[in-house]
Amino acid sequence: MSAKSKKRDRPRVAFFDFASCEGCQLTVVDSLQTHVELLEAVEIVQFREASSERREDYQIAFVEGSITRPKDEERLRRIREQATLLVALGACAHTGCVNALKNLHKPEDVRRWVYGDCAEWYETYAARPLSAVVKVDAVIPGCPIDREEFVEVVKALLVGKKPPIPDYPVCVECKLKGNVCVFHVGKTCLGPVTRAGCGAICPSHGDGCEGCRGLIPHPNENAMEEVLDEFGLTLDQIMGQFTMFNAYSEVENGEWAQ
């Protein structure tokens, strides 16, 4: 096979976004600093933030952002129809991230607070992850995503393997790094129940884990409670913090219709 035909056969990839800060797509752009070879492995046919090119014949769709209004659903369903593989890129797409904090409030209050008397002009409903609307084939967690993990997931998808996302807690990575547990310096941390894969980046920089990568599949709540007990904290206090990135998993749509 000639180099040229190889280039033509590369998987066609597209990037899309809904309600988000677009920081995960920027992290994708930044991954090129150290992995420029990715451009050889795939063909990017749509990436609005970085390119004017716009083709609809993509096979793999990376989707950033939460779904926050009915018309977003139509667009997401069209992407789902076209894509062989749909990957949730980052916490907004995966868990609803901070967007879902609004689900903890009353809808009318939220709209009026921001838009006052013009509230009726703007459509919005409870923020939700992609999986609340369509089938998601793979997830790259985190707020933002981890650059190296993104590269590893892409490599796995290209060879048809399951993406290597850990299902053990952040504590494991934190201990491997030899960090002093942040509970010991008077802080709180969601590391015992949060999915690893970030290299325990927050505790490594003196801050407790805030749970942006979501809960591990079978969190050991008893162990978490023991840790909290030791430091005079309760599970309720910690779960209050957990809502920063995981309000959707706590209340789903809350008091918002639909």
Partner 1 sequence: MGTVKIDVHHLTRVEGHGNIVVDVRNGEIKTCRFEVVEAPRFFEAFVRGRSYDELSHITSRICGICSVGHATTSLQATEKALGVELSEQATLLRKLNFHGEIIDSHVLHTYYLVAPDFLGVPSVIPLVDTHKDVVLRALRIKKLSGDLCALIGGRHTHPIALTVGGLTHTPTERELRDMRARFVEARADMDETVALFASLPWPQFERETEYVSLHKDDEYAFIGGTIVTSDGFSYPIEDYRKVTNEWCVPFSTAKWTRHNRDAYMVGALARFNNNYDQLHPRAKEAAAKFGMKPLVTNPFLNTAAQVIEMVHCIEDGIRIMDELLTRGIKPEAPAPVEVKAGEGVGSCDVPRGILFHNYVYDDDGICTSANCIIPTNQNWANVNADLQAFLPQILDRPQEEIRHLLEMLVRAYDPCISCSTHFLRVEFV
Neighbouring C-beta atoms of residue 204, cutoff 10 Å = 15
Element (H, E) at 31: helix 23-31
133 binds partner 1 (CB under 8 A): no
For partner 1, the binding residues in 170-229 under the rule CB under 8 A are 201-202, 204-207, 210
Q: Rule CB under 8 A: choose which of 13, 87, 89, 102 binds partner 1.
A: 102
Phi and psi at residue 15, to the nearest 5°: -120, 135
Tokens 């084939």 appear where? 137
- Minimum Å gap between C-beta 220 and partner 1 is 25
The helix/strand/coil state of 174 is helix
Element (H, E) at 5: helix 3-8
Binding mask 1-40 for partner 1 (x = CB under 8 A): ----------------xxxxxxxxxxx-xx-xxx-x--x-
Tokens 């793999």 appear where? 60
CB-nearer residue toward partner 1: 137 or 204: 204
**Token duo for residue 134:** 């369509």
Judged by CB under 8 A, the stretch of 79-87, 100-108, 155-163, 219-227 that binds partner 1 is 100-108
37 alpha carbon, distance to own chain's centre: 24
- Give me the DSSP letters along 68-128: -SHHHHHHHHHHHHH-SEEEEESHHHHT-GGGGGGGGS-HHHHHHHHHGGGGGGS-----B
97 binds partner 1 (CB under 8 A): yes
Distance, CA of 127 to CA of 76 (rounded, Å): 14
Binding mask 142-171 for partner 1 (x = CB under 8 A): -xx---------------------------
Q: Rule CB under 8 A: choose which of 7, 70, 77, 122 binds partner 1.
A: 122
CB-nearer residue toward partner 1: 33 or 222: 33
Q: Rule CB under 8 A: choose which of 58, 63, 68, 86 binds partner 1.
A: 68
CB-nearer residue toward partner 1: 19 or 227: 19
Interface ranges with partner 1 (CB under 8 A) = 17-27, 29-30, 32-34, 36, 39, 44, 47-54, 68-69, 72, 97-99, 101-102, 104-105, 109-118, 121-122, 124, 127, 143-144, 201-202, 204-207, 210, 241, 244
